[in-house]
Structure 1
Amino acid sequence: MAQHTPPAPRICPACDGFATVAVTLGGRDRHGHLRTITVHCPACHGTGTALARRAREGARA
């Protein structure tokens, strides 16, 4: 029998799969380390994948 492969996950169109990034705040602390914060994509909440259109619209399976 043929083996079925699962479909590839849908990549988030807002972040192209790069869901979490480090953003510099500008400047360094007194130890010389670069100050950064972690920011997540607001569309996919840091997962990198987007829901299918049916799931977003609340369609029944």
Structure 2
Amino acid sequence: MTDHSTPAPRICPNCDGFACAAVTLGGRDARGHLRTITVHCPACSGLGVLPARRVREGARA
């Protein structure tokens, strides 16, 4: 019996799967909250995974 399973997604090597991060801008606003911005990994566009590589048919290594 064969088990057909989907391959695991490739985790982005640039962000190790943590695609979004909150970065503090320093200081606080009038209410006392830290001012932060959200930044996304440019390699995976904030997804944390990369698409699987396509294997060429008939290509030799």
Report the 3-state secondary structure (helix = DSSP H, G, I; strand = E; otherwise coil) of the residue aligned with 2:11. coil
Q: Which has the higher strand share?
A: 2
**Structure 1 unpaired stretches of 5+:** none
Higher mean C-alpha displacement, 25-34 vs 44-53: 44-53
Letter in 1 for 2:42: P
Aligned residue number for residue 30 of structure 1: 30
Question: In percent, how many aligned pairs have the same letter?
Answer: 70
Residue 7 in structure 1 maps to residue 7 in structure 2: yes
Deviations 1:3-50, CA, capped at 9 Å, x for gaps: 322111000011000001100000100100000000000000000001
Match status 1:50 vs 2:50? yes
Q: Size of the alignment, in residue pairs?
A: 57
